């Protein structure tokens, strides 16, 4: 179908790892290993690492992203970061709705929707995470859960804005567990996400959206996952903190 038309995006989600000096060292290690990549290479880093990270990747093909953003431009929101702040330091991507934020920090589809719209309005690219819990998969409601998240997270997001959206399918049971979804399971849900987008927008819009898989993706399983028609990239946690592993995933996406 249209896989070749979509840009593969391999993004590291560093989570709460690496101080600024450690971030610089890791990016310096990654940069030469991914310089010939035929895909988009992104590192989403803690807020305090952003300035150092943007500086470290100057002149390379690595883009920098944040791990969240607030929907208001400014105001009394202690501890939050606005899209304007992220833009000024040179971030280009923002991870939104990660399951860790949904599970531990009260993130809801309503707040993910607000953040998504604010990020798009600011000209940043959201990587919006969706995924089912193990219990939901066992109850055979994976598709209902995913459809609900897609409908709510993208409520009121225009077809034009969807061109700048990346979606990450991250089954919650596969995150940090070493338990990867099989390539067929990943393909099944990524295809379902695309079908849902086709119903909400159009086939054209759906075909243009990059859909990543995330959840224990590593150098050993990336090629098989990425070979699937609807798996256009990866959002990588643990393996993105090891330069050689991350570079191997980038290579797997570049063929
Ligand atoms: P792991 O790759 O460590 O399982 O994390 C995946 C993830 O949550 C990326 O956002």
Give per-10-residue mean pLDDT for the chain (255 aa): 84 98 98 97 98 98 98 98 98 98 97 98 98 95 98 98 98 88 96 98 97 96 97 98 98 92
Q: Of residues 40, 98, 100, 107, which has the active-site annotation?
A: 98
Is position 70 annotated as part of the catalytic site?
no
Two tokens at 150? 């897609």
What pLDDT sits at residue 1? Answer: 53
Task: Tell me if 234 sits within 8 A of 190, measured CB to CB.
Answer: no
Taking the C-alpha atoms of residue 240 and residue 246, their distance in angstroms, rounded to an integer, is 5
pLDDT at 104: 97
Contact 71, 114 (CB under 8 A): yes
Dump strand ranges (E) for the chain: 9-13, 40-44, 62-66, 93-96, 125-130, 166-169, 210-214, 233-236
Substitution site in 9, 12, 15, 169 for ligand 1 pocket (most atoms within 8 Å of beta carbon): 15
> What pLDDT, on a 0 to 100 scale, did the predictor assign at position 116?
98
Supply the pLDDT for residue 179: 82
CA distance 138 to 140: 5
Can you give the pLDDT at residue 133? 96
Q: Which residue has the CA at smallest separation from atom 2 of ligand 1?
A: 237
Of 254, 206, 207, 233, residue with least CA distance to 8: 233
- CB of residue 68 inside a 6 A radius of ligand 1: no
Ligand 1 midpoint to CA 76 (Å): 31
Ligand 1 center–CA 17 separation, angstroms: 12
Query: Per the structure block, which two tokens stand in for 238?
Result: 């643990």
Q: Quick one: fold of 9-252?
A: TIM Barrel (3.20.20)
The pTM of this model reads: 0.98
Ligand 1 atom closest to the CA of 174, numbered from 1: 4
CA-only gyration radius of the chain, Å:
17
Rounded Cα distance between 82 and 136, Å, is 33
Residues 6 or more apart whose CB falls under 8 angstroms from that of 108 comprise 102
The partner residues of 96 in beta bridges, in order of sequence, read: 128
As to burial, measured by CB atoms within 10 angstroms (0-12 exposed, 13-18 middle, 19+ buried), residue 254 is: middle
Domain boundaries, the chain: 9-252
């Amino acid at each position: 179908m249209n896989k070749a038309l979509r840009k593969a995006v391999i993004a590291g989600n560093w989570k709460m790892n690496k101080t600024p000096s450690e971030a610089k060292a890791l990016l310096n290690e990654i940069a030469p290993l991914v310089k010939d990549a035929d895909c988009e290479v992104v590192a989403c880093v803690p807020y305090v690492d952003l300035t150092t990270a943007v500086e470290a990747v100057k002149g390379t093909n690595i883009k920098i992203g944040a791990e969240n953003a607030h929907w208001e431009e400014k105001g009394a929101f202690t501890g939050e970061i606005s899209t304007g702040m992220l833009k000024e330091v040179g971030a280009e991507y923002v991870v939104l709705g990660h399951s860790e934020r949904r599970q531990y920090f009260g993130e809801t589809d309503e707040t993910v929707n607000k953040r998504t719209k604010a990020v798009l309005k600011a000209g940043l690219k959201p990587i919006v995470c969706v995924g089912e819990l193990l219990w939901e998969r066992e109850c055979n409601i994976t598709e209902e859960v995913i459809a609900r998240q897609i409908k709510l997270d993208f409520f009121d997001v225009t077809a034009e804005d969807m061109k700048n959206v990346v979606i990450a399918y991250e089954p919650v049971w596969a995150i940090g567990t070493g338990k990867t979804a099989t390539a067929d399971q990943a393909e099944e849900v990524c295809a379902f996400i695309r079908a849902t987008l086709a119903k909400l927008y159009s086939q054209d819009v759906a075909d243009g959206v990059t859909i990543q898989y995330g959840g224990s993706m590593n150098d050993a399983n990336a090629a098989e996952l990425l070979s699937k028609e609807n798996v256009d990239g990866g959002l990588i946690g643990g393996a993105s903190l090891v330069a050689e592993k991350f570079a191997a995933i980038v290579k797997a996406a570049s063929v």
